[in-house]
C-alpha cells in the first residue's frame, strides 16, 4: 500500500502529547491523519488533517471514527476495546490489537498474563474491591507494606499507592485492584521493543528512570542506564520475552525493576510510545514516534542505537499553581548547551500535570545528568 502523499488514512485514538509527537513523523512522511480526542483543545488538534471531538470509551463514537480510516492506532490505552474488536472483524487494521489492549488495560489481567507466560514479576494478590484487603490482612494472607494498584484507569502516578499501615487504605477508591509485594530494588529500568507487522523486532537501549517521591511520576529518564552490561542484557532479554508473549505490533515499553539481587522483574507495560522514549527525539538515529509508524505500517524498522547520551526531564505543574500556564525561566534553559524543551500545548496547568519535557544531550552521560539537574532547578511551570 502507498502510505505517502496518498488517500491512505491513519487514525489515532487520543490527541494528547503522544499523539502530537506521533504527528511530527506523519508530517515528515506526508501521511494523512485523523485524530479522535474528548477535548477540543487537545495538543494534537493542530497537527492532524482531521480532528474529531469524541469519547474514546464510547462504543459508537470509536466505531464511527474507525470506519473512516485504513489503520487505527492509539496513544492511550483507555479506549473502547469492544469497538476495536468489531472494527478488526470488519477489516480495519488495529495496532496494537484489541486482544493485546484488553489484557494491558487491566493491571490484574496484565499480572496474570505474566504469571501464565513465566515472565518474572512481583508476587501479587487480586481483589474485586479494595474493601476486601482488610480481611486478607486479618487472615494473614497479606501483610504490610505492599503496593496497591487500581486494576483500571491508572496512569502517571494515579491509581498507585504504597500502603504501609491500615490508615493508608482509608481514602483509596473501592475498586478492582491488586496488592503487590513491595520490592526492594536498585533501579527502575525500561526497554522499548519495536515489532512490525512482519514480526521484525528491535530494542532501544535500556534506560534508567528516576521517580519523584511524592507524585510517583518519572522525573528523569537516563539513556544509557548506568548499569553493568550483563544487567542491561538481562533486561533486554526479559523485554523481548514479554514482547514475544504479547505478539504486539507497534511499540511496547516494558518497565522493570532491578532488584537488590540483580533479578529483573516486569512492573508493567505500555503498548505505545512512552515517556521513557522521549529522549530518542534528540538522542537516537530513529526516534520512538517514527519507529511506531514504521512498525504499524509494516515498514523496515529504523536503527535504535543512540547517537549521543541523553537525559529527559519531565516538566510538570508546580505544586501551588493552577490556571493559565507560564514557563518561568525557559530562556535560561535554552541558553544551556544541548538542551531542547518540548511544550505539549496544554494551556492550563495544575499540580503535577505533565506539561512538557526537556531533553539534554551530551557525549558524557554524567555531564548530561548534571545539566538535567540544573534544568530541573531553573525552569518552573507556574500560572500567570
Q: Which residues contribute to the annotated binding site for ATP? A: 107, 149, 180-183, 188, 267-268
Task: Specify the DSSP element, H or E, that contains 253.
Answer: strand 250-259
Q: Which residues are annotated as a binding site?
A: 107, 149, 180-183, 188, 267-268
Q: Tell me the three cell numbers of residue 210.
A: 528516576
Residues 108 and 383: their CA atoms lie apart, in Å, by: 38
Residues 6+ apart with CB under 8 A from 305: 205, 284, 285
Residues 199 and 179: their CA atoms lie apart, in Å, by: 35
Residues 228 and 273: their CA atoms lie apart, in Å, by: 26
Residues 277 and 292: their CA atoms lie apart, in Å, by: 11
Q: What backbone phi and psi angles, to 5 degrees, belong to 187?
A: -145, 150
Residue with the three cell numbers 464510547: 58
Radius of gyration of the chain, Cα coordinates, nearest whole angstrom:
21
Residue with the three cell numbers 533479578: 263
Residues 6+ apart with CB under 8 A from 209: 188, 189, 190, 218, 220, 221, 222, 255, 276
Bridge partners of residue 179, in order along the sequence:
125, 148
Query: Which is nearest to 87 in space by CA: 102, 75, 74, 71?
Result: 71
Is there a contact between 361 and 282 (Cβ–Cβ < 8 Å)? yes
H helix runs in 30-132, sequence order: 59-66, 81-89, 98-105, 107-116
Residues 6+ apart with CB under 8 A from 197: 95, 249, 295, 296, 297, 298
Residues 82 and 168: their CA atoms lie apart, in Å, by: 35
- Peptide bond just before 145 cis, omega within 30 deg: yes
Amino acid at each position: 500500500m502507498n502510505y505517502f502523499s496518498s488517500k491512505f488514512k491513519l487514525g489515532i485514538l487520543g490527541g494528547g502529547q503522544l499523539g502530537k509527537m506521533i504527528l511530527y513523523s506523519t508530517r515528515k512522511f506526508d501521511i494523512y491523519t485523523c485524530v479522535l480526542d474528548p477535548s477540543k483543545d487537545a495538543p494534537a488538534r493542530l497537527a492532524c488533517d482531521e480532528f474529531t471531538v469524541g469519547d474514546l470509551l464510547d462504543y459508537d463514537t470509536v466505531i464511527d471514527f474507525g470506519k473512516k480510516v485504513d489503520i487505527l492506532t492509539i496513544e492511550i490505552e483507555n479506549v473502547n476495546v469492544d469497538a476495536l474488536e468489531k472494527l478488526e472483524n470488519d477489516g480495519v487494521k488495529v495496532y496494537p490489537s484489541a486482544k493485546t489492549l484488553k489484557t494491558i488495560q487491566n493491571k490484574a489481567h496484565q499480572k496474570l498474563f505474566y504469571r501464565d507466560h513465566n515472565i518474572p514479576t512481583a508476587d501479587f494478590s487480586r481483589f474485586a474491591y479494595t474493601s476486601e484487603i482488610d480481611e486478607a490482612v486479618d487472615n494473614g494472607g497479606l501483610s504490610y507494606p505492599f503496593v496497591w494498584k487500581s486494576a483500571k484507569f491508572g496512569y502517571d502516578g494515579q491509581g498507585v499507592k504504597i500502603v504501609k499501615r491500615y490508615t493508608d487504605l482509608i481514602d483509596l477508591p473501592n475498586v478492582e485492584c491488586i496488592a503487590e509485594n513491595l520490592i526492594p530494588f536498585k533501579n527502575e529500568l525500561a526497554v522499548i521493543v519495536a515489532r512490525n507487522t512482519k514480526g521484525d523486532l528491535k530494542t532501544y537501549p535500556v534506560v534508567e528512570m528516576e521517580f519523584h517521591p511524592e507524585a510517583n511520576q518519572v522525573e528523569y529518564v537516563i539513556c544509557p542506564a548506568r548499569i553493568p552490561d550483563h544487567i542491561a542484557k538481562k533486561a533486554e532479554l526479559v523485554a523481548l520475552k514479554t514482547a514475544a508473549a504479547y505478539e504486539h505490533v507497534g511499540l511496547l515499553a516494558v518497565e522493570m525493576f532491578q532488584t537488590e539481587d540483580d533479578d529483573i522483574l516486569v512492573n508493567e507495560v505500555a503498548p505505545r510510545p512512552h515517556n521513557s522514549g522521549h529522549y530518542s527525539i534528540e538522542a537516537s538515529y530513529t526516534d520512538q514516534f517514527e519507529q511506531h509508524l514504521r512498525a504499524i505500517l509494516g515498514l523496515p524498522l529504523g536503527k535504535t542505537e543512540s547517537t549521543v547520551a541523553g537525559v529527559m526531564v519531565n516538566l510538570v505543574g508546580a505544586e501551588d499553581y493552577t490556571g493559565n500556564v507560564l514557563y518561568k525561566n525557559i530562556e535560561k534553559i535554552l541558553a544551556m548547551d544541548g538542551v531542547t524543551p518540548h511544550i505539549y500545548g496544554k494551556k492550563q496547568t495544575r499540580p503535577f500535570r505533565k506539561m512538557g519535557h526537556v531533553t539534554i544531550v551530551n557525549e558524557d552521560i554524567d555531564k548530561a545528568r548534571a545539566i538535567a539537574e540544573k534544568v530541573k532547578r531553573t525552569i518552573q511551570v507556574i500560572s500567570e
